[in-house]
Structure 1
Amino acid sequence: MAGRLTDLDLLVTFLEIYRGGSLTSAATRRGLTQPAVSGQLTKLEKELGAPLFVRGSRGVTPTPRADDLARRVGRHLDQLRTALDPEGTLDGTVRIGGAAEFMTVRGLPALAPLTRRGLRFEVTFGLAADLLDALRNGRLDVVLSSVRPGAGFTATPLTDEEFVLVGPPLLARTVDQDLLAEDPARALEHLPLVAYDSDLPILRRYWRSEFGKRPRNTVAVTVPDLRAVLAAVIAGAGVSALPRYIAEPALAAGSVEQLHHPEVPPLNTLYVVTRGTPAKATEAVAEHLISRDWGVL
């Protein structure tokens, strides 16, 4: 019996790594040290005779063997934990809003474990100002906001987005590196921009933060989705400033290059925002998100 319980413990740890994408997040959720989690994973891989994850600098990537194991054991482990901990069940629908890109890439995967505890979500995509207005008027319960709201809201810092200036390799080769070190805004001025909005909110923020001025570059493409911005940059339409979590796969693949390397990376804080006295389900969502180890995105 002890051996079976030990195997169950290894599977629980495996599932936390699989769902969280890193040993660090699994250690936090399990209340263990990272070496302990790493040791449990190594033991399980040895028992199965196959690797379950490929380790990388920004987390782990599951192997096909891990995908298959998660499909087979995930639902059963969730049901077992619910049966042993009735207080862990949740009920209700939470209306949550956030930027489409963040919610798609990071937010919804982070919320998925709560659906296994019985919670339901209605998700709204939009700009921070519109979402906060919907929260104020009672149409949303919680918002993941890229701007700090004013009075009347409860805002808790969630994580920081790091922004990187990227362009396709061919355009990167046209940048004078000596001039870039001396006057970066001038060195980059000939490059067309791919913008998220006609007001250039992200690009203007990057230029002001790093160069102390507005961009004077021409705008080649304007598209209201950061994933589409990246696609246009990869295709050679221009350059843009993007959150690292959006640009990282293309950077790793060599499809784009980082054009500017500031001494201190420009960051933007994301907030979990509620209003009034949240319902139990909304409070559980906020606590779940805030307790997660996001790192710098």
Structure 2
Amino acid sequence: MDLALLRTFVAVHRAGSFTRAAALLGLSQPAVTSQIRTLERQLGRPLFLRRARGVTPTAVGDELAHRAAPHLDALLEIAGTDAGAPPRTLHLAGPPEFVSLRVLPALTGGALGAEGAVRAALLADPEEVLEGLAAGHYDLAVTTARPRGGLFVSGALCDEEHVLVAAPQWAAYVDPVALRDKGPAALDGVPLVEVHESLPLVSRYWTAVFDTRPPAAATVVVPDLRAVLECVAAGGGLAVLPKYLCAAALAERRVVALLEPPVPPLRTYFLTARTGTLGLPHLARAQQRLLEAAAGW
């Protein structure tokens, strides 16, 4: 099978459009269309369904992409690794706060020039992260759930502990004994700050620690945990935050931990890539650096 046809096919599969794939490959749109038709004739099966906006892969197209793309990526990596070739750019995506405060410092510390360039997408929506990874827009992703299926390979990167915090003036309002013995009723009247209307962090904490549902709504909603921390420190109410993010504020007494449960709620981060791509040198180096850094997180 012609590798050029496979390369065009994978580009279309990832881009979701003949036009976008043509721009990525430096080809004309008719040339891309012709190559896909040639490949479909060779296989005797349609690979894409033509839509008003772009294309959708058939079941055969998805299977071919999942089988062929990792090997094609590896071949292109080998073909491009001569002594004078520039280092590959690493494209990664993940939660804004974790990527900003953990992942990027680990990757960019030291001799960045030897590792190549880094391009990061800060995405709060985990489905958007995985869709972009599947489409080839990113090489690595940090996810808060282990993806299922054969398209991705992932491993645990680290756990984060969640802490219930408030500014000192609100902490003084809350009876710690009543909170420990009677639960969240002791928090009545304290405003809540969260990253989303669905209360994702508070819901997880309330379920794990209090075995009950959280309050009905937040007073302040802002889609960045760093902004949540600043709102809480300014007296905006209470919040559930990752310990790594608020550790400095806790040490400085800008915020106070309201409760220390025997088993604090944890959330696991996973380092995820497309199956078969972690053998590529620039991804293997990035994975190793992150795993080494995560040992101290």
For normalisation by structure 2, the TM-score amounts to 0.67
Aligned residues of 2:197 and 2:217 also touching (Cα < 8 A) = no
* Amino acid in the other structure paired with 1:107: V
1:51 corresponds to: none
2:121 corresponds to: 124
* Amino acid in the other structure paired with 2:281: K
SS at match of 2:156: strand
Contiguous gaps of at least 5 residues in structure 1: 1-86
Aligned residues of 2:162 and 2:241 also touching (Cα < 8 A) = yes
How many percent of aligned residue pairs carry the same amino acid?
Answer: 34
Aligned residues of 2:168 and 2:256 also touching (Cα < 8 A) = yes
SS at match of 1:292: helix
Deviation string 1:186-221 (CA, Å, 9 cap, x unpaired) is 112332110011111111111111111121264110
Deviation at 1:293, TM superposition (A): 4.5
Change (3 A) 1:184 1:283: same
2:168 corresponds to: 169
1:91 corresponds to: 87
* Amino acid in the other structure paired with 1:161: E
Contiguous gaps of at least 5 residues in structure 2: 1-82
Query: Comparing 161-170 with 178-187, which one deviates more in the overlay?
Result: 178-187
For 1:51-200, list aligned pairs within 5 A.
Answer: 91-112=87-108, 113=110, 115-127=112-124, 128-151=126-149, 152-200=151-199
Aligned residues of 2:209 and 2:264 also touching (Cα < 8 A) = no
SS at match of 1:95: strand
In 2: Cα distance, 1:280 partner to 1:227 partner: 34
1:287 corresponds to: 288
* Amino acid in the other structure paired with 1:110: A
1:245 corresponds to: 244
Aligned residues of 1:179 and 1:187 also touching (Cα < 8 A) = yes
* Amino acid in the other structure paired with 2:105: P
SS at match of 1:96: strand
Aligned residues of 1:192 and 1:218 also touching (Cα < 8 A) = no
For normalisation by structure 1, the TM-score amounts to 0.67
Change (3 A) 1:252 1:123: same
Note if 1:232 corresponds to 2:234: no
In 2: Cα distance, 1:295 partner to 1:227 partner: 21
The total of aligned residue pairs comes to 209
In 2: Cα distance, 1:290 partner to 1:118 partner: 16
In 2: Cα distance, 1:144 partner to 1:114 partner: 23
